[in-house]
A and B are shown apart, each in its own frame.
Chain A
Amino acid sequence: MTSKIYQKNATIIDNFRINGGYYKLILATPEIADRIIPGQFVHIRINDKTDPLLRRPFSVHRVIKNKGKFNKGQIEILYGIVGRGTEILSKVSPKKKLDILGPLGNGFKIGSEYSTHILIAGGMGVAPLMFLAERLSKAKAKNPKQKIVVLIGAQTKRKIFCEKEFKKLGCDIRISTDDGSNGFKGRVTSQLTQILPLFKNQASMIYACGPEAMHRALALIARQNNIRAQISLETYMACGFGVCMGCTTNTSGGYKLVCKDGPVFDANDIVWPQN
């Protein structure tokens, strides 16, 4: 099924540096803000030049819904400078417009039948999970027995984001850093293994976004513990809407497109490349 995709010139409300060398981009785009779900992404044309040529995909960090004439829907994007595209983007000033396509792809499936939701963020992977936590906490308001646990892993303290925001939503939050400067010292997946016994007798669902190594480790842990895990993959893309066939990933059901069949997949379905 192809659902409606919008191509819009979205006004930049703000685009600013936060800590850890990361940035926040806020765009006014009511059609997309009203429809996008956690884990879906938008495809942004950084400028109107031919270099860099391709759009850049970004997951949505938060959504401010459309509330009429003076309160237009907005989306918030959390990004880091990973290459030339994001470097150019970081210098674009507010009030300018960006050509944006979205909502794209398939987002996280919220398992309302699960009592414990475990969110696992590696580095920038926290970006789509904030949006997911907001939706989960709304579901939790109706069903207070539900628990939202958030594990955030990063290289160092400075690169931990959204701790306060997750707390505000009533999430049980655990931090891990590679250098031990905050919370558990080690990988976020090691911390997961450590705390999993706490949720042994509860129906749990894992939602994760992070680097490939984290996804691989997580897929294994999920399988060993018989827990379902959804992971949001990241890859190079050209079109972003299922036409160019460029962003293929291998799954147990054959090649799938990250842009259209994903970016969220069941961790169990992914066939990881051999290194």
Chain B
Amino acid sequence: MNTAISLGTLRLKNPVLVASGTFGYAEEFKNLIKVERLGALVTKTITLCPRQGNLPPRIAETPSGMLNSIGLENKGLDNFIKEKLPHLKKLDTPIVVSIAGESLNEYAELAKKLSLKGISALELNLSCPNIKAAKIKNQRGTLISQDASATYKVIKAVRRSTKKTIIAKLTPNVGDISLIARAAEDAGADSISLVNTFLAMSIDIKSKKPKLANITGGLSGPAIKPIALRMVWEVARAVKIPVVGCGGIMTASDAIEFIIAGARAVQIGTANFVNPKAATDIILGIKDYMRINKITNINKLIGSLKV
């Protein structure tokens, strides 16, 4: 049975990745699961300078989902290279580093400085709802990947700075996702991952206060899966580069839906919080499905939707 797939120059032994921000830098998971079984792991997003993140409360549970507004808390690039990367390199699974910049130059600088041995690819976080694209395009309150030309410019700048595989992670908070996806492809992205979280909110009716200090946050979990699936299907039809599907995947059958819809790989996110074994269970489940359905090569399953 062949479960290997490729994204750009990156070869993965199976199509299951863990999503940025849901797996830390793998340290905590090392004693819970066999990390080397993963297709690849995507780190928590790194920014050039350390970020304190948003005020608490930062999370709230919603029906079959959760809201978060962490605000990209991380210790910055230098700390990552010094403290986290040496441990990550020892893992026998490809490492994808997620990056976010506050300007074009920052994205380019991060990409250049992370063109290191042991890093397999870069995922551009173009979609975190909590960082403003204001400095890139003189707009307030928009995200980079809500704007096709800003998306194009950032990816182009990163493309010039690195030979690594580039995965562009898009926000679903747009009218026409295909438009943004095509801009990413035109700028030289090797792959597109979607969706990041949906901008959402929740209110405590007793205190009349929002449940998040940031008022709004990103919705993830099973609640968003059908919408994410629809968007992945749209993007897979709109671009030639491989699509990595993400959004509320809890089980192997969820993952298989995304693959049938056209995703070459999938990312497991919120499920990692609920069940640390989710990703490795999903890998086993996909293999079971292939065995039962006599599919010898995963590539035969990708985009096999019958319409």
Contacts and interface: CB of A to CB of B under 8 A. Distances in A.
A5 B70 CA distance: 24
B61 A52 contact: yes
Given A245-B53, A248-B56, A50 B32 contact: no
Interface of A: 2, 4-5, 7, 45, 50-55, 99, 101, 235-250, 254-255, 273
Contacts of A235: 56-57
A52 B273 CA distance: 13
Contact of B61 (A236, A245, A247, A255): A236
B130 to A, nearest CB: 12
B60 A236 contact: yes
A50 B273 contact: no
B281 to A, nearest CB: 11
Given A53-B66, A238-B273, A245-B53, 8 more contacts: A52-B61, A53-B222, A101-B276, A237-B59, A243-B28, A243-B273, A245-B58, A246-B70
A107 to B, nearest CB: 18
Contact of A50 (B222, B276, B277): B222
Contacts of B29: 243
B58 A55 contact: no
B59 A247 contact: yes
Contacts of B65: 53
B276 A7 contact: yes
Interface string B62-79: 011110101001000000
A45 B274 contact: yes
Contacts of A2: 27-28, 30-31
A245 B28 contact: no
A149 to B, nearest CB: 33
Interface stretch (B17-25, B150-158, B227-235): B17-25
Interface string B28-65: 11111000000000001000000011001111110111
Contacts of A238: 59, 66, 68, 270, 273
Contacts of A248: 53, 56, 58, 73
Please give me the 5 A-B residue pairs with the lowest Cβ-Cβ distance, nearest first: A246-B59, A239-B273, A243-B24, A50-B222, A50-B64
A237 B23 CA distance: 15
B23 to A, nearest CB: 6
Contacts of A54: 61, 66, 273-274
B221 A53 contact: yes
A5 B273 contact: no
Interface in B172-209: none
Contacts of B149: none
B273 to A, nearest CB: 4
Contacts of A249: 56
Nearest to B63: A51
A244 B274 contact: no
Contacts of B22: 243-244
B277 A7 contact: yes
Contact of A244 (B52, B59, B61): B59
A148 B221 CA distance: 46
A99 B57 CA distance: 26
Contacts of A53: 61, 64-66, 221-222, 270, 274
Contact of A45 (B32, B61, B64, B275): B275
A246 B274 CA distance: 13
B167 interface: no
A243 B23 contact: yes
Contacts of B115: none
A105 B274 CA distance: 17
